Structure 1
Amino acid sequence: MKLKALLPPRPHGESGWVGRVLASGVAVAVLSTARPADSWVWVVLGVSFALFLAGSVLMTARPYVSFALLSVVAVSSALIAGYPQSNALVLVLVAITDVAVLDFRRHGNRPIVAAGIGVAAAYAGSAWLFGQSDSWYFTQLLWTAVLVAFGLNRRQYEVQARQTEQLLEQTRLAQSEHARAATLEERGRIARDLHDVLAHSLGALSVQLEVAEALLEERGDTAGALERVRRSRRLAVQGLTEARNAVAALRSDAVPELPAALAGLAEQHEKDHGTAVQLAVTGHPRKLDSAVTVALLGAAREALTNAAKHAPGQTVGMRLDGVRLSVRNKGVTSGEGFGLTGMRERLALVGGTLTAGPDGDDWLVVAEVE
């Protein structure tokens, strides 16, 4: 869709019809004081005034037709301007002013220059026909030049106003498209997160249930199968929590504040695994984007899951310093799996990084957002 189609047409003259009515009123008032001796002058004045009204009405809808009518008015009135007490100058001035206001776009000011030359020549012919002096001729030219300058200034103002409108509309459209692109990008990111959450949780859940089924069918190990079912339940709860957080971010619902969410995660981990989690929050708290909160929570959950799997019974230390989250547990947890790789990719999408590796006798996971 082109920008011009979105903008309503602007009338020529910021004052619009009010200005045209005032100009017509001034012309009528001045012409009513005219006292030409010959009746044919009244005919010329009357026809010129009628053409002026028609040209003024057509300025917006038919600018070139309006130009032709107004030019005829200006030139014909200038031809009889030297007739004593004709007061035809007023028609020249109002007509030439409207001509100067017209915006000819491709033709620039050439039509206005042509009309001005025609009026100047008509003034010269009128001075010769009716015996006017040189001072009279130059006075008429001066008045005409002043009114042309006024009309050109008016037209320039209108052109700038239209350009400003177009620029504002273009800016609004650009902002709208930018917001739409940002929304689509955010929805796509959350969709990827949701897919990763479900794939990770459901995959682990499927494995646990298969092991439980095998323990029951092949060994009749009810206790072992029950433990696998309990693990499956914990995985389901964790997956549901992650899915809810991702959906909340997608719907722009209120995602929990990161410190409170980490405290809840630590408490749940202690209940599920019987392992202490020491949480420390330092630094200045700040409002985080929901996507950042979800990514850091996912990294903390993955680190706790790995700690429970590879270092069971060991105390876990978790520290949040601004937007830097570290999770430390005793004992080397082994190399990275798909979980930490997925967390690294999610953090990268929100401008963050994730590192994991041995730190002395401990295993340290650090997630940080710029």
Structure 2
Amino acid sequence: MIVGGGLRRATRRGVRLLRADDPETGWLVRIVLSALLLWAWLYLTPPGAEVRPVLAAALACWVVFLLTDSRWPRLARGALALVTLSAATVAGVPDDASALIFVYAGLFTFVLLPRMPMAAILALTGAVIAVLTIVLWFSGRGPTAMLTQPVLIAVLVLFSLHRREYRLRAEQTALLLEQTSRTQQAQARAAALDERTRIARELHDVLAHSLGALGVQLAVAEAQLGEQGDVVGATERIRRARRLANDGLAEARAAVAALRTDVPPLPRALGDLVAGFRTDHAATITLRTEGTPRDLPSGAEVSLLRTVREALTNAARHAPGAPVSVALDYRGPRTRLIVENPAPDPAGTRPGPGGHGLTGARERIALVGGTLEAGVVDGAWRVTAEVPS
């Protein structure tokens, strides 16, 4: 059982190595080529003294190439070039195929080596063709052999170059896909961090404003009860504190909802917001969109939504029952949002700074590069917000 388990582990390891190996220049191909060269030298080489020593030297250069390829690539390339050239010098011997096997194996491996300069490939190919042509001419092999062998060498090199180019493109494509994937992951992380920062800012604004105002109202109510005995005034402060608590709870729920769902397109989100206010406050609110809607940064859309919510809340508080109009304008270079309702004091003509809620809205709009103005214009209270598109 121990022997069987060890055999299975060795088999699995061999399969993993085989799958990870390069199918053209890996260790398996080199083992096969080494066996082929050794077989050619032992059984195909004619007994002539001028061939066997040269091919033996070529075989030794092949061994040097195998041993030095990973650590000394320049030495390995030189040894492989010597394999090809030395075999080409004896390729003209009649009835001898072993030298050509050395030439083809060495040249094929040389061309397919990773990061092999094109100049070195062309130089070795030209040298092999020249040496092979001279050797065949001196051997009297005739014009057919002198033409056929260089053509075969050229075809082998062209095929190998084609495979090399295909492999390089495949590697570049894989590298590009990996870089693209890393870039997308980095962008996704940056977007997630930006969204978390925005949500954290929204929650901070809601809690800081609501709890701070709530604390002030309760402190005043406590002073009115304890020091002045003003039950009526304290009751009014408590009612105001309860309204602040309800408003803060609604704002907090809206901010938390943004963590769970994506922000819908701005026109649809405004429609949902206006519909909710119509139902909750029994108010007449009109909404119109002008121009072609376009996508805005999420921070800008959320800031505009918060501005509309604050403006509608103020309208319901200071001018209950009065009609309100909301206009979203995409026609200019900047997206503009206008909320307008009849002013409680139509005589005022100078825009006022607004309350704490509008101050927070103005700060949020400024964070996304926009502006917000609020005040009385032509007898109506108007809130105008603009953000870059």
Deviates more, 1:128-137 or 1:284-293: 284-293
Tell me: CA distance 1:253–1:163, structure 2 relative to 1, closer, same or farther (3 Å): closer
Write the distance in 1 (CA, Å) between the matches of 2:319 and 2:233: 17
In the alignment, structure 1 residue 123 sits paired with structure 2 residue 129:
no
Which residue identity lines up with residue 102 of structure 2 in the other structure?
L
Normalising by structure 2, we get a TM-score of 0.71
Q: Deviations over 1:303-348 (max 9, x none)?
A: 2444466x35562524365884524133248611343232133235
Distance 1:222 1:288, change over 3 A: farther
Give the letter aligned to residue 166 of structure 2: Y
Aligned counterpart for 1:68 among listed residues 61, 78, 88? 78
Q: Does the 8 A contact of 1:326 with 1:366 survive in 2? A: yes
The alignment of Structure 1 onto Structure 2 pairs a total of residues equal to 352
Q: Tell me the SS of whatever aligns to 1:347.
A: helix
The residue number in structure 2 matching 1:328 is 341
1:108-163 Cα distance to aligned partner (Å, 9 max, x none) = 23433553455356436634764445664454333323322332333233222222
Matched position secondary structure for 2:276: helix
Determine whether 1:299 maps to 2:307.
Answer: yes
8 Å Cα contact 1:97/1:150 also seen in 2 = no
Partner of 1:176: 185
The reply on whether 1:339 has 2:357 as its aligned counterpart is yes
Contact 1:314 1:329 survives alignment (8 Å) = no
Residue of structure 2 in register with 1:235 after alignment = 244
Query: CA deviation digits over 1:90-122, x for unaligned, max 9?
Result: 3212211221222346xx234335534553564
Percentage identity across aligned positions?
41
Equivalent position of 1:7 in the other structure: none
What code does the residue aligned with 1:345 have? E
SS at match of 2:96: coil
- 2:171 maps to 1:157: no
Distance 1:318 1:224 in 2: 35
| Alignment of structure 1 residues 10-159 onto 2, 5 Å | 34=44, 36=46, 38=48, 41=51, 45=55, 48=58, 52=62, 55=65, 63-87=73-97, 88-104=99-115, 108-116=117-125, 118-120=127-129, 122-123=131-132, 126-127=135-136, 130-133=139-142, 136-137=145-146, 139-159=148-168
SS of equivalent to 1:155: helix
Which shifted more, 20-29 or 299-308? 20-29
Paired residue for 1:319, among 312, 315, 326?
326
1:262 aligns with 2:268: no
Q: Which residue of 2 aligns with 1:362?
A: 380
CA distance in 1, matches of 2:380, 2:175: 63
Equivalent-residue separation in structure 2 for 1:265 and 1:27 (angstroms) = 87
Aligned-pair distance for 1:32?
9.9
How far apart in 2 are the matches of 1:174 and 1:257? 31
The answer to whether the 8 A contact 2:322-2:342 is kept is yes
Contact 1:299 1:340 in 2 (8 A): yes
Q: 2:284 is paired with a residue of what secondary structure?
A: strand
Per-residue CA shift, 1:218-265, capped at 9, x if unaligned?
Answer: 432212211211111111121122122223324546789443333334
User: Distance in 2 between the 1:134 and 1:288 partners?
Assistant: 76
One-letter code aligned to 2:326 = R
Gaps of 5+ in 2: 1-19, 331-336
**In 1, distance between residues paired with 2:67 and 2:258?**
58
Change (3 A) 1:197 1:351: same
CA separation in 2, counterparts of 1:15 and 1:316? 80
SS at 2:382 equivalent: strand
- For the residue of structure 2 that corresponds to 1:189, the secondary structure is helix
What secondary structure is seen at the aligned counterpart in 1 of 2:258? Answer: helix
Give the TM-score normalised by the residue count of structure 1. 0.74
How far apart, CA to CA, are the structure 2 residues paired with 1:221 and 1:122? 116
CA distance in structure 2 between the partners assigned to 1:42 and 1:303 by the alignment:
98
Q: Is 1:76–1:122's contact at 8 Å kept on the other side of the alignment? A: no
Give the Cα separation in 2 of the matches to 1:328 and 1:26: 93
CA contact (8 A) 2:137 2:146 kept: no
Check conservation: 1:248, 1:254, Cα contact below 8 A.
no
Distance in 2, matches of 1:350 and 1:147, equals 63
Cross-structure match for 2:175: 166
Question: Which amino acid in 2 is paired with 1:168?
Answer: L
Amino acid at match of 2:84: A
Q: Note closer, same or farther for the CA distance 1:142–1:288 as it changes in structure 2 (3 Å cut).
A: closer
Residues in 2 aligned to 1:308 and 1:218: alpha-carbon distance in whole angstroms = 34
Contact 2:45 2:52 in 1 (8 A): no
- TM-align CA RMSD: 4.3
* Partner SS state of residue 83, structure 1: coil
Q: 1:361 to 1:129 in 2, by over 3 A?
A: closer
Q: What secondary structure does 2:341 align onto?
A: strand
Contact 1:100 1:155 survives alignment (8 Å): yes
Q: Which deviates the most, 155-164 or 15-24?
A: 15-24
* Superposition deviation, residue 51 in structure 1: 5.8
